[in-house]
Amino acid sequence: MHMSTNQPEAGDKRKVEIVEGGDQGAFSTKQSRLKNGDQSGTSSGPVQDSSSKIFQDPVHGTITVTGLCVKIIDTPQFLRLRYLKQLGGGYFVYPGAAHNRFGHSIGTYYLAGTFARILQQEYPDLKDDEIKCIEIAGLCHDLGHGPFSHVFDNFFIPRVVPGSKWKHEDASVMMLKYLRGENIEVKKAFDEFDKDGTRLELIKDLIQGGKGEDHVKDERVLEKRKTRPFLYEEADNLYDMFHTRLTLHRRAYHHEVTRGVELMIVDALVKANATVRILGQNRYRKISECIEDMEAYSKLNDSILQLVELPITLGTSPQETDSGTLEAREIIGRIWKRDLYKCVGQYNLSAADPFTQDDIPGIKEEILHAEKETTFDGEQFDIILKSFDYGQKKDDPITKVWFYNKSNPEKAFTQPEEQKSWMLPKRFQEREIAIYSKKKEFEEDIAKRFRLWSNARKEKFPEIKEQMTQMPEASNQ
């Protein structure tokens, strides 16, 4: 919603508008062109619109967005990202972790454009229109996230659609296509920018990370993969950044209480999925079916918990509501009251243990039958797999980074083995599994059975004892 201020005085070439709402402190201006020294995510490419928007970002300062990207941001489909928490259930543990996908996407737009223009200084063949594609891809890469971000695609969808390979990147591409068709101003700007359709295909390929080729229809995009491989890479370059990432995952994203809340959110959505319906294109959809219908998906966000919890919103009375919805409301009520699922055991997997997410159903059966008699069933506990790494699974991330020497800037090289620090970890990935009891009366029994299982697992897959690396002898030279 825009609210115009007083008219500018004569001679003032800018018109200032205040953008209400959100946590970005955004305001917009109309200006003819950005000066080269501005901190901006805007390229000097062929598509320039007289309108621009300036966002006061808490990390990067002022970010200026122009042209086509402004039109994309102003659509209902993009504004939906204001109502998707970046860290899923983390907000219920850390109240300050309230940032959303909207702000994150604008920050990604800025960083993607900034890195691309730095690269262009060393690689002049990188065209302005390619930088614009990079910016649009950065801006739109999270359009496909569902309620509570990764909780939706990593936990909810696999529960209700077993075997599904769907990821939020797939929905991001679908939502971009839907957004373009539903908003005439965006379509006009896109058509002008992308007269032959190649740039849209490149943007879609960038969003999906250049993985696989089934979705690529244009040979020119496949050619860019060969001649512009750097368009598909991240700019990670320091161990301390990778270590910070690891620390955040361990202390916040995979915090045991965070995961407990997220398991409750998933259970509530699973139970509500049977009856809650969202209007899409000419039909109502289950929550899980919204990934097939972007009109319905564009209405799906974190507020789904409130929609399920409050009967007046659903247009039903408690007497008319099915048992699944009532159970979902009970779980949601427990979240607000902090009556949460409790982690009653954790087990660090050895490097030799092949445990994967697909093994969880079988492990649950093993725990249930660890003893003859049991006081609980498989519905009373959950198991999750946690992974902590430096961003490249088991690999050293620095092996993926290219370095340049000022004396020979034309040649890139990887870090020589002898230059690596002796203080680096021997392993760059740790994995553990955690078990959660859903009710207090079963906590002790579930914890006991988990200990029996984990002790047997240690014997089956013992930790490989690696010989300690010896420090080199001191040199007299």
Measured CA to CA, the distance from residue 345 to residue 434 in angstroms comes to: 6
Residues 100 and 229 in one domain: yes
In this predicted structure, the answer to whether residue 314 has a pLDDT above a threshold of 80 is: no
CA atoms of 270 and 383, how far apart (whole Å): 16
Q: Which of 87-101, 131-145, 304-318, 363-377 has the lowest mean pLDDT?
A: 304-318
Q: How far is the C-alpha of 187 from the C-alpha of 72, rounded, in Å? A: 10
- Which residue reads 């620095």 in tokens? 398
Query: Is-contact 83 302, C-beta < 8 A?
Result: yes
Query: CATH number for the domain including 368?
Result: 3.30.70.2760
pLDDT at 206 over 70: yes
Amino acid 95: pLDDT: 84
Rounded to 10 deg, the angle between the 219-227 and 198-207 helix axes is 60
Q: Indicate whether 141 belongs to any domain.
A: yes
Q: Is residue 26 part of a domain?
A: no
Query: Residues 92, 206: one domain?
Result: yes
Indicate if 362 and 333 belong to the same structural domain: no
Q: What is the dihedral of CA 221, 223, 229, 232, to 10 degrees?
A: 10
**Are the C-beta atoms of 116 and 45 separated by less than 8 Å?**
no
What's the first-to-final CA gap in the chain, in angstroms? Answer: 70
Q: Is 308 domain-assigned?
A: yes
Residue 375 and residue 260 share a domain: no
- Domain end, chosen from 286, 306, 340, is at 340
Mean pLDDT of the chain: 77
Sign of the C-alpha dihedral, residues 167, 106, 229, 223? Answer: positive
Chain centroid offset of residue 445 CA: 36
Rounded to an integer, what distance in angstroms lies between the CA atom of residue 110 and that of residue 39?
9
Q: How many domains is the chain partitioned into structurally?
A: 2
Q: Position of tokens 């919805």?
A: 325
The catalytic position among 145, 168, 254, 255 is 168
Which span out of 84-93, 272-281, 384-393, 403-412 was modeled with the highest average pLDDT?
272-281
For 446-454, what is the mean pLDDT? 92
**For residue 228, pLDDT beyond 50:** yes
Residue 36 lies in a domain: no
Portion of the chain with pLDDT greater than 70, in percent: 67
CB-based burial label for 221 (10 Å; 0-12, 13-18, 19+): buried
Task: Show which of 340, 367, 402 is a domain's final residue.
Answer: 340
Averaged over 457-462, what is the pLDDT? 89
Q: Chain-centre distance of CA 78, in angstroms?
A: 15
Mean pLDDT computed over 219-240: 58
* 287 Cβ contact partners less than 8 Å away, ≥ 6 residues apart: 156, 160, 269, 272, 273, 276, 278, 300, 304
pLDDT at 464 over 80: no
Judgement on whether residues 321 and 350 belong to the same structural domain of the protein: no
Mean pLDDT, residues 232-257 taken together: 59
User: Active site includes 168?
Assistant: yes
Q: Which of 134-148, 396-410, 430-444 is predicted least confidently?
A: 396-410
With bands split at pLDDT 50, 70 and 90, how would you rate the model's confidence at 83? very high
Contacts for 315 with CB less than 8 Å, ≥ 6 apart: none
Which two structure tokens, joined as six digits, stand for 235? 């700019």
357 contact partners, CB below 8 Å, separation of at least 6: 158, 385
Q: What is the mean pLDDT of residues 5-20?
A: 35
Q: Which structural domain range is residue 349 located in?
A: 341-414+426-463
Domain check: are 408 and 267 in the same one?
Answer: no
φ, ψ of residue 29 in degrees (nearest 5): -135, 165
CATH number, domain at 131? 1.10.3210.10
Domain ends where: 340, 355, 375? 340
**DSSP letters of 115-165?**
HHHHHHHH-TTS-HHHHHHHHHHHHHTTTT--TTTHHIIIIIHHHHSTT--
pLDDT of residue 251: 64
Do 456 and 373 sit in the same domain of this protein?
Answer: yes
Specify whether 111 is located in the same domain as 213: yes
